[in-house]
Structure 1
Amino acid sequence: MDFLDEIVLTGLTVFGRHGVYAHEREDGQEFVVDLRLRMSLEQAAASDDVADTVHYGELAEKVAGVVEGEPVNLIETLAERIAAVALQDARVQNVTVTVHKPHAPIDRNFADVAVTVHRSRGPEWLEDITA
């Protein structure tokens, strides 16, 4: 099975209360999430049926629920939780999650701070994309 197909969702902006500092938890801020799901899309393309793919609207709602949910100190932890949600669908073999924190408490001018995690069901997906 070929897992070179992808579903990509970028720029999902959700208000959350994550951070190390008390004011981040109290005031909250926007977080931006990018997801890249690696899976076979052959069945969905053949059937033209949303039931044969990951419904990205439903996935966006689940991810938003994580960001809006229980606060964590680190965006690393937040990214890990989001990856776990994406991998709940057994068809997803690999996910890349980037969590952006554009309003991080940094006393310098900056464009963005982001953390990216890559998670998979097993090593076989890597063999597929490096072959």
Structure 2
Amino acid sequence: MSSDRPAPSPLVARGLDVLRLSGVRATGHHGVFDHERRDGQEFVVDAVVHLDTTAAAAADELDRTVHYGVLAEQIVAAVENDPVDLIETLAERLAGVVLAFPAAARAEITVHKPGAPITVPFGDVSITIVRERA
């Protein structure tokens, strides 16, 4: 008998849960052009954190999971500081922010640059990277 439901991802099948933090907005001065560095622009970040929340839920203890409020603040700080040329570099930095939480096993980061200097009409440009704890 076949099922219409998609199979769970391998990480969820292994017992990892998913925390999603979407649409975190911050102004950064990233880019290869002088005006991007000088004027800054908005970046939008989506973070997907894979973690096992069993211990946190059983103990009802915040320090056993990823505090999404703190994560959001740290993402904003990472976007606002230390300009880099590439959104790929920024995404790598943000994955490190996520993986600094002891409960985080895997980070999926998408950095959107809606104001990218592109000369044709477009809706969005983004990069998504996936990193796992070593």
1:86 pairs, out of 84, 98, 104, with 98
Runs of 4+ deviating beyond 2 Å: none
Shift of 1:52: 1.8
Shift of 1:121: 1.4
1:23 aligns with 2:23: no
TM-score (norm 2): 0.87
Give the 3 Å change call, closer, same or farther, for CA 3–16 of structure 1 in structure 2.
Answer: farther
Report what 1:71 is aligned to.
Answer: 83
Structure with greater Cα Rg = 2
Is there any run of 5+ residues in structure 2 with no aligned partner, and where?
1-13
Distance in 2 (alpha carbons) for counterparts of 1:23 and 1:83? 26
1:59 pairs, out of 65, 68, 71, with 71
Report what 1:106 is aligned to.
Answer: 118
**Partner secondary structure for residue 52 of structure 2:** coil
Distance in 1 (alpha carbons) for counterparts of 2:46 and 2:15? 19
Report what 1:126 is aligned to.
Answer: none
- Determine what percentage of the aligned residue pairs are the same residue: 50
**How many residues are paired up?**
122
TM-score (norm 1): 0.89
Is there any run of 5+ residues in structure 1 with no aligned partner, and where?
123-131
Report what 1:127 is aligned to.
Answer: none
RMSD of equivalent CA atoms: 1.3
Note if contact 2:64-2:103 (Cα within 8 Å) is conserved in structure 1: no
